[in-house]
Amino acid sequence: MGLTGSLPSGLGNLTQLQTLSLRFNALTGPIPADFAGLKALRNLYLQGNFFSGQVPDSVFALQNLVRLNLGSAVAGSVEKSEVRSGDKSLVFFGNVNRVFSLDELLRASAEVLGKGTFGTTYKATLEMGVSVAVKRLKDVTATEREFRERIEQVGKMVHQNLVPLRGYYFSRDEKLVVYDYMPMGSLSALLHANGGVGRTPLNWETRSAIALGAARGIAYLHSHGPTSSHGNIKSSNILLTKSFEARVSDFGLAYLALPTSTPNRVFGYRAPEVTDARKVSQKADVYSFGIMLLELLTGKAPTHSSLNEEGVDLPRWVQSVVQDEWNTEVFDMELLRYQSVEEEMVKLLQLALECCAQYPDKRPSMEEVASKIGEICLPSLEKEEGKNQGFKDADNGFSQQYYSVDSGVSHA
């Protein structure tokens, strides 16, 4: 322990600083709010100190931050007295044999995976070596009772194409949800990371399997009744296992958010009739899925036509390319080598455009979409089925071998 005292407020002026490591000292006092000025910061390590108060929201808003470890304050503003009191605990779902405590989670090292519509997601690596994904929710307007009821409904939804929700935490200042960690990241990152430079090409079988898996996961959500919908379907919410199986994430969170919490960047996926992020519908989900399917086929990122940012209005662009007759110019260049499945690609593109119909009653249901994708793609997928079988047992995320100590707080 070398450094003592409090952090100077002038740290926020170091606008070009990329790494700040002050771990394992004896620093006290609050974390300065002017950390917002550290625009270039990528790595922040403050664990092993004696800071007081709450972690400023400005820390979590740093756009370039990819690795974060604040020790017991890693999740934000959870006060230690609350942790000790036992009044608030992590609540777990399912029949896992081992659950970790809130204190263990707060001590975990954290890496920022992404900043999305409803909050920031971290990869938290626990001391036992297990990694989980933790989403720190923002703009939650639901009461504690409403929050718990909604999250418990989400926790009961179990399907091989959904990212399992493993637990949650609720307090006045902090709302966390804990998921299995998906090691291959998102479909969005796979398609667009680094402008597509240096990424692994996605073959036709992988893309069609992702489309089918995502469709089945969303169709399962819709099967729980006419009011059961996702509300935030986009390629960054389609996560992938080690064998590139699709898992849908972030389902059920739209109902907890402020109507203004959906940023411009997701307008490209939003159905034209949706004006409030909380007032979602199954037909709006179908539209968003159609956009994601076009993205998967064309390799182009969608955006709203009125926004001045990278991306295209995908349905309009596709229709402009194929005005009179279908041609291969519309597809991602990586797919052009698969001439034997050109008919399948065209059929899938036509289905995507049906999903993106302007009027909701003209769109198919997700059950119909999943069925049609199966009819279109299963012939080529069956050829690949045996190749990936060996990976599936390794893709169960929340590996039971690591959870065998005490049962802790659980929820059936």
Which segments are annotated as binding site for ATP? 135
Q: How far apart are CA 291 and CA 314, in angstroms?
A: 7
Structure tokens at 230: 């996702």
Q: How far apart are CA 399 and CA 275, in angstroms?
A: 40
Q: Which sign, positive or negative, has the C-alpha torsion 319, 320, 321, 326?
A: positive
The 4-6 sheet, strands edge to edge: 4-6, 26-29, 50-51
Known binding residues are 135
**Residue 315, phi then psi, degrees to nearest 5:** -60, -45
Q: How far apart are CA 109 and CA 70, in angstroms?
A: 8
Q: How far apart are CA 299 and CA 292, in angstroms?
A: 10
User: Taking the chain, what is the end-to-end CA distance rounded to the nearest angstrom?
Assistant: 44
Q: How far apart are CA 192 and CA 95, in angstroms?
A: 37
Position 111: which residue type? E
| DSSP secondary structure code for residue 309 in this structure | S
